[in-house]
Amino acid sequence: MNLMITGQHIEVTPALRAYVEDKLGRVVRHFDQIIDAAVILGVEKPSEKDKRQRAEVNVRMKGNVVHVEHYDVDLYAAIDGLVDKLDRQVVRHKEKIQSHQREPIKRVSAES
């Protein structure tokens, strides 16, 4: 999986980069057909003082693109919320793929 981490109005430190890579490892454990992920970390305008930190991700998978974003007071909490949302969507996509692959072939009766 290719991982690109960028920061808007913040500097992406090695500790922050390692934290994001560690958290996205959980998503890769559930679904290994992820092609690449682009993570954007940023700070919003000071008008919303409660939830200023923003984390968003675009994940390209085989057959789908998932976009998730999460806002929180702390950047690490925003990353945690982002990974939770992303994990739910990836697992739902995986279940959808698996349920369609296992559908039985519908047979046409000879009488009709």
Give Cβ neighbours of residue 26 (< 8 Å, ≥ 6 apart). Answer: 83, 87
pLDDT of 49? 63
Give Cβ neighbours of residue 58 (< 8 Å, ≥ 6 apart). Answer: 37, 38, 65, 66, 67
Tokens standing for residue 106? 């519908």
Q: What angle do CA 12, 82, 1 make, to 5 degrees?
A: 70
Residue type, 55: A
Mean pLDDT by 10 residues, the chain (112 residues): 93 95 91 92 77 92 91 93 95 85 64 55
Enumerate domains of the chain plus CATH numbers. 2-101 (3.30.160.100)
10 vs 3: CA distance, rounded Å = 18
The whole-model pTM stands at 0.82
